[in-house]
Amino acid sequence: MGRLFSDLKTAEYGASGHPEAPFRVRRTFDRLHSAGHAPERPKVQAVDADVVLLHGATHLDSIRRSTFDDPDTPAYPGIADIAMISLSGALSAADAALAGEPSFSLMRPPGHHAGKDRVAGFCYLNNLALAVARLQKRKPGLKVAIVDFDVHHGDGTESLVLGRDNTSFLSLHQYPLYPGSGGETRGNCANIPLEAGTDGERWLRAFEPAFETLLSAKPDILAVSAGFDAYEGDPIAGLKLGRTTFKRVGSLLAQTKLPRFATLEGGYSEDLPLLVEGFLDGFF
Ligand SMILES: [Zn+2]
């Protein structure tokens, strides 16, 4: 079984009616724990130097001072500290993966919409992209393949890794949909736009050849933005993946036998705990 990093402090913020809600971590934590997983606190504590690997020097400061403005991404009290805990989970999962253990960071806030100098789409710091950058700083030349299966285009991640050496990115997402980008492939960033209503079988038929192409670059490690909002029961998007599809995706990633880690991105249905459990059944 792989390593699971989580911290229930990341369930301690929220706003009434906001879909990115505390239950996502709290109930998933409980479910995974009763399924035999052993959640651990992060082993790496994120520091400011980790953030400026990709974000602008003043970005974290703007989160600390609440001087940003995005209606989807509120200035919750203490959100900078909580975002650093979420980042710590991603960094810990990346380290564990490099040491040979498949790992998952069950934290919030998510990260894949956060760009160099912007919070967006419930995201403050780009956890996954920062974890990749930190790995590549420690191991120059490390080839990383990023897979983003959240229903939304990973626009923040794309903006941070576009043209980056030894890094490739694959995003499958509903299109058109927030954030509006991801209609076409750009350089090292492969985008697969899918129309509303796409089901699990069609999704997998799109994923498998694109994933083969990603693997042809012979990556050393897989970094996965695991969003579960392509689920048929998700309240905020229109793809129709069933529960079993997420387990299948986890299995396809695991079949590579590559070092691998994943971070929680979106997923807003009440079934999120089951979807994550299924994914990890395949991924670990
Ligand atoms: Zn999403």
Tens digits of residue pLDDT in 158-179:
999 999 999 999 999 999 999 9
User: What gap in Å lies between CA 176 and CA 194, rounded to an integer?
Assistant: 8
Q: Which residues surround ligand 1, an ion (CB under 5 A)?
A: 150, 152, 227, 229, 266
pLDDT for position 39: 98
CA dihedral 227, 232, 235, 236 (to 10 degrees): 60
Please give the distance, rounded to the nearest whole angstrom, from the Cα atom of residue 177 to the centre of ligand 1: 10
Q: How confident is the model at residue 1 (pLDDT cuts 50, 70, 90)?
A: confident
Domains of the chain (ranges, CATH numbers): 3-283 (3.40.800.20)
41-81 tens-digit pLDDT: 999 999 999 999 999 999 999 999 999 999 999 999 999 99
113 is catalytic: yes
Q: What is the mean pLDDT of residues 241-265?
A: 98
Q: What is the mean pLDDT of residues 224-248?
A: 98
In terms of Cα–Cα distance, which of 244, 240, 223, 237 is closest to 266? 237
**Mean pLDDT (the chain, rounded):** 98
110-141 tens-digit pLDDT: 999 999 999 999 999 999 999 999 999 999 99
User: What gap in Å lies between CA 249 and CA 244, rounded to an integer?
Assistant: 9
Q: What is the mean pLDDT of residues 205-221?
A: 98
Token pair, residue 140, equals 């120059």
Please give the distance, rounded to the nearest whole angstrom, from the Cα atom of residue 212 to the centre of ligand 1: 24
The two beta strands, 221-226 and 189-194, are unpaired
Token pair, residue 74, equals 């509120």
Q: How far is CA 256 from the centre of its chain?
A: 19
Please give the distance, rounded to the nearest whole angstrom, from the Cα atom of residue 35 to the centre of ligand 1: 25
Please give the distance, rounded to the nearest whole angstrom, from the Cα atom of residue 275 to the centre of ligand 1: 14
Q: What is the pTM of this model?
A: 0.98
Q: What is the mean pLDDT of residues 100-117?
A: 98
Q: Are 183 and 211 in contact (CB under 8 A)?
A: no
Please give the distance, rounded to the nearest whole angstrom, from the Cα atom of residue 173 to the centre of ligand 1: 9
User: What gap in Å lies between CA 34 and CA 275, rounded to an integer?
Assistant: 15
Please give the distance, rounded to the nearest whole angstrom, from the Cα atom of residue 139 to the centre of ligand 1: 30
User: What gap in Å lies between CA 49 and CA 220, rounded to an integer?
Assistant: 24
37, 113, 152, 153: the catalytic one is 113
Secondary structure, 3-state, the chain: CCEEEECHHHHCCCCCCCCCCCHHHHHHHHHHHHCCCCEECCCCCCCHHHHCCCCCCCHHHHHHCCCCCCCCCCCCCCHHHHHHHHHHHHHHHHHHHHCCCCEEEECCCCCCCCECCECECCECCCHHHHHHHHHHHHCCCCCEEEEECCCCCCHHHHHHHCCCCCEEEEEEEECCCCCCCCCCCECCEEEEEECCCCEHHHHHHHHHHHHHHHHCCCCCEEEEEECCCCECCCCCCCCEECHHHHHHHHHHHHCCCCCEEEEECCCCCCCHHHHHHHHHHHHC
User: What gap in Å lies between CA 94 and CA 239, rounded to an integer?
Assistant: 29
pLDDT for position 135: 98
Return the half-sphere exposure (C-beta side, CA atoms, 13 A cut-off) of residue 36: 6
